[in-house]
Amino acid sequence: MRYQVPQFIEVEDKIFGPLTLKQFLYVGGGAASGFIIWSIFPKIIAVIIGMPVVGFFIALAFYQYNNRPLVLTVENSIKYFLGNKLYIWKKQPKEINPDKPKEEQVADPGLFVPKLSDSKLKELSWSLDIDEKLDN
């Protein structure tokens, strides 16, 4: 039995003439906010305030940035600016004093760094090799 496979599922349906539902709501919201601004403020101030607001709503409806709707770009920027950030820095190398020997140059005087002698290091590496061979 044959079935018809839906195609173009990423394309939104045009509901209101050439506009999708989202585009219609953005244009309607822009028109409503423009009307409210026009009725509340004096005419010259309403034009100055209303033009960017209505323009923003029209851009939300039709403009795409990097082939993605402007709404997603605005949403991601708000999340970035209001969200937590992790700051990572690059550690600067410590300056070496040529007057002191290397053993005496310690970054933190309260930090204890144990030293292994050559024989203890060989002993430790041999015991680790033995343990690895026994596990296999």
Please give the model's pTM, rounded to 2 decimal places.
Answer: 0.56
Q: Please tell me the predicted confidence (pLDDT) of residue 13.
A: 78
Q: Please tell me the predicted confidence (pLDDT) of residue 12.
A: 78
Q: Please tell me the predicted confidence (pLDDT) of residue 30.
A: 96
Q: Which of 30, 71, 23 is nearest to 51 (CA)?
A: 30
Place of tokens 């309607």: 28
Element (H, E) at 69: strand 68-69
Q: What is the pLDDT along the chain (136 residues), one digit of tens a residue?
A: 788 887 777 777 788 888 899 999 999 999 999 999 999 999 999 999 999 999 999 999 999 999 899 999 999 999 999 998 888 877 777 676 666 665 555 555 555 555 656 677 777 776 776 555 555 5
Exposure string for 69-103, b = 16+ CB within 10 A, e = fewer: bbeeeeeeeeeeeeeeeeeeeeeeeeeeeeeeeee
Residue 63: phi and psi, rounded to 5, are -80, 140
Q: Please tell me the predicted confidence (pLDDT) of residue 91.
A: 74
